[in-house]
Structure 1
C-alpha cells in the first residue's frame, strides 16, 4: 500500500472511531435540553445579589446584567443554561451580627425585587410552587429569595415574619457563625465551640414558626446535631440549599449518609453544591466529580431527594466544565450518560423541589388557624451593647419587687412572733 494511501486510511480510521462518540455526546445533550424544556431547572443557591453589593453597592442602575462579564451569572448565561427558577441568596456576612445585619439583609431582598422589576422579560418574582410553574410557562426565570444565615434575623420572630411577607421562602439557620440560638457547621470541625448543643429552646420555637409560616428550613451550614434535631421535629420537609455528599468529600459542610437517609424519610431535598472544596476537598474539580455526588446521593437515599445548588457567585473555585450557570446542561447530559432515567433527571431538575415546596405550603395551610408565636428570646441570651431592652422587664423593677417581697416576709414574721 502506498504511503499516502496508508495515511488517508489511518485518518479515516480515527474519524470512524471519533464520530460515534461525538454522535453519542450530541444525543445526550439533545436529550438533556429536551428534558429541561419540559421541567424547570431549579437551583437552590446563587449569590449574584452579593456580587451586586460588593461590586456596585447595590446601585443596580450602574450595572447591565446583559453585559456584565466578571460574574458566574448574567442574563445570556442564564438563557444558555436554561435556568427555570433560582433562589437568589439574600446574604450578609457574619460580622454584621449584633450590628446592622437586618438592615443589610433587607437591602439584599430589595435588590432582588429591583432586579426582577428592571428585567421583567427575563425574571419573574416568585413565592410559590405555582409561581415557578407560571414563570416556566412564560419562559422566564422564577426568582425566589433565600436568606442565608439566622444572624440576619437578630433573633426576632417578628423579623422572620416580615421577611416572609417580603417574599423570603427559605432561611439557612446559620452561616459560618453561631447565632444566639443555633450552632454552625464550624463547631463540627472543632474550630468553634458549641454554645447551644445544637438548637436552644428559642431555636426550636423558630423551627415551629417556620413550619407555620410555610418557610423552607435550610440546613446547609449547621452542625450535624442541628440537622438531626430539625429533622426530628419539623412537620414539613427540609432542604439543604447548597451542600454535597460527605462520603464523597469529607468536608463538614457536606451531608453524611445517615442524614441523607433521614432527609429521604422526611421527603426533603439535598441540592448539590459545585464549590471545588466541597466536591473533591481540593482546589480542583471536574464536572464528572460533581456527578459523582449525584450518583452517591441517589445510591444512598434515592433520586427523589436530589437537586442542583450550584453556589455560583458565592464561591471562588468551580469545576472544569461547570465554569458558570450556562454550563449546567452539560451536567444534565452527564447524568443521562450515567444511565439516569428521564424520570430521575426530571426529579433532580425541579420536580423534587416543587414537591418539597408544595408540601411545605400544605403544612402552612394546615396550620392556618394557629396563632403566631410571639414569645421573644430571653433578653439575657441576646444582651449586648448594640441592643436595647424595650419590652423586657426592667431588672431594676425586678430588684425592687424582690426587695418589697423580702420586706413583706420580715413584717409577716414579726407579726407571727408578736401574736
Structure 2
C-alpha cells in the first residue's frame, strides 16, 4: 500500500502556484507569437470508441466534455498545431490493421473538413507556419505503431501520401522487427527489416517516433537514423520510473541526434506517487471484479468507495514542469517539446490541465522558474518546427534513392 508519508510528500511538492497576472500576460504574448505544437492527441480513437465513428455528429466547436479536446479549448490553450494520433489496438494485426488505420485517418480528415474555419490539414513546417498565421490550427497525423503497416514498406509510403507525418515504431507489443518498452523483446533492437523501415521513413520525410519502443530499439534507431527522431509523448524516467519514459543516456542521445522529446502529461508517466496509487487501485479492482480503467464519478461503486478512502495524489503543472526541466537539462532546451496525450489519458490530467486548454498553466510555471521568452517559444513550437524542417531536408537529400521494397516475411 502507498504510505501516508509518500502521499503527503508528493502532494506538498506538487502544490500548484497561481500564476502572477503579469506572468500570465507574458505567457499569452509568447504563445500568440509561437503557438503550441502538440505531438500526440487521441481524439480520433475517442470519436470511434465513444461516438461510434459518427464524426459529424460530434460538434467540436462546442464543449465536448468528458472528452479532453474541442476547438474552444484548443484556442484557449493557444494550440497552433496538433498531431492527431491514428492509434489502433496493438493486438489488431495483418490486413485488418491496415484497414483500421485507414478508417482512423478517415476520421481525422473528416473532422478537419467539418471545421474549416478552425482546422486545416498540414504536412510540413511551412504548412504549420502558414496555417497559424491565418489563425487556424494546423492538423497533422501520426500513426502509433509499426504493426499498422503489416510488414510492408509500400503501406508506409501510402500512409505518407495520405498525410501521415510520423510513425511510432511500436505500441504496447513487440514486433518481429522492433521491440516495445512494455513487452518481451523479439528483435533485440532492430532487425534488417526494422533498419529498412527507418531508412524508408528518412527517405520519404516521415519522422521516426521512439515513444513506446524499448531502450535497445531506441539505441538502434538513433544509430541508424539520418534525420532527427521524435518521442511524441514521453517523459523522464529519472523522475518517474515507468518503462515508457526515457532514461538520461537516451535523452542525451536524442539531443545529440537533433531530435525532440515531447513531454507526456498523463499522471502515470510524470508522478511516482500517482503510479503507486493507481497500482493499488488496480489490484483492488481485480479483487472486486470490476474494471480499473474508469475514474471519477463514472467508476464502479466499489472503486468510488475505494477512491474516497484513498485520495488520489495531486499532479499539477509543477509536476509536469519538473519533467520539462529535466529533459531540458539532459537533452538540451532545444530538444524538448509537448505531447500531452489528451484523450488518451484515463481519468484526468494534471490539475488545471485536464484538457487542451491547460498549456498556459505549464508555461506560467516555467516562467516562474526563470525560463526566458525564447526558451518558452522553442518549447511551444520552435523545436518541433526545426525537427520537421531538418527531416524534410534529409528527405530531399535522399530523393534520388529508389523506394525500398523490403517485406517483413515473418509477419506474413
- TM-score tier, shorter chain, comes to 0.7 to 0.9
Specify the alignment match of 2:345 in structure 1: 315
Select which of 119, 128, 132 maps to 1:123: 119
**Structure 1 contact 40–349 (Cα < 8 Å) conserved:** yes
For residue 337 of structure 2, give the secondary structure of its aligned residue in structure 1.
strand
Q: Structure 1, residues 275-296: CA drift from partner, whole Å, max 9, x if none?
A: 1010013434111100000111
Select which of 25, 33, 42 maps to 1:30: 25
Specify the alignment match of 1:239 in structure 2: 230
CA positional deviation for 1:301: 2.1
For residue 340 of structure 1, give the secondary structure of its aligned residue in structure 2.
coil
Map 1:320-339 → 2, pairs under 5 A: 320-339=351-370
Q: Are 2:254 and 1:263 equivalent residues in the alignment?
A: yes
Q: Which has the higher contact order (CA 8 A, sep 6+)?
A: 2
Q: Are 2:330 and 1:300 equivalent residues in the alignment?
A: yes
Q: 2: CA distance between counterparts of 1:358 and 1:338?
A: 30
Specify the alignment match of 2:372 in structure 1: 341
Moved more, 65-74 or 135-144: 65-74
CA positional deviation for 1:99: 5.5
Select which of 211, 222, 226 maps to 1:220: 211
CA positional deviation for 1:87: 0.2
Task: State how many pairs are aligned.
Answer: 355
Q: 1: CA distance between counterparts of 2:26 and 2:125?
A: 25
CA positional deviation for 1:113: 0.9
For residue 94 of structure 1, give the secondary structure of its aligned residue in structure 2.
coil
Specify the alignment match of 1:46 in structure 2: 41
Moved more, 99-108 or 245-254: 99-108
**Structure 1 contact 276–282 (Cα < 8 Å) conserved:** no
Specify the alignment match of 1:403 in structure 2: none
**Structure 1 contact 44–310 (Cα < 8 Å) conserved:** yes
Map 1:176-255 → 2, pairs under 5 A: 176-186=172-182, 192-255=183-246
**Structure 2 contact 175–187 (Cα < 8 Å) conserved:** no
Q: 1: CA distance between counterparts of 2:56 and 2:236?
A: 40
* TM-score normalised per structure 2: 0.84
Specify the alignment match of 2:299 in structure 1: none
Specify the alignment match of 1:389 in structure 2: none
CA positional deviation for 1:297: 1.1
**Structure 2 contact 254–260 (Cα < 8 Å) conserved:** yes
Q: Structure 1, residues 341-366: CA drift from partner, whole Å, max 9, x if none?
A: 11111110000000000000000000
> Relative to structure 1, is the Cα distance of residues 107 and 30 closer, same or farther in structure 2, using a 3 angstrom cutoff?
same
Q: Are 2:53 and 1:58 equivalent residues in the alignment?
A: yes
**Structure 2 contact 211–233 (Cα < 8 Å) conserved:** yes
CA positional deviation for 1:196: 1.0
Q: Structure 1, residues 248-306: CA drift from partner, whole Å, max 9, x if none?
A: 11111001110111111111000000010100134341111000001111122211001
**Structure 2 contact 56–111 (Cα < 8 Å) conserved:** no
Select which of 285, 289, 314 maps to 2:319: 289
CA positional deviation for 1:58: 1.5
**Structure 1 contact 39–350 (Cα < 8 Å) conserved:** yes
Select which of 78, 82, 102 maps to 1:82: 78
The unaligned stretches of length 5 or more in structure 1 are: 1-20, 187-191, 384-419
Map 1:332-371 → 2, pairs under 5 A: 332-371=363-402
CA positional deviation for 1:53: 0.5
For residue 95 of structure 1, give the secondary structure of its aligned residue in structure 2.
coil
Specify the alignment match of 1:404 in structure 2: none
The unaligned stretches of length 5 or more in structure 2 are: 1-16, 275-312
Q: 1: CA distance between counterparts of 2:330 and 2:91?
A: 37
**CA-atom RMSD in angstroms:** 1.2
**Structure 2 contact 255–335 (Cα < 8 Å) conserved:** yes
Q: 2: CA distance between counterparts of 1:373 and 1:39?
A: 37
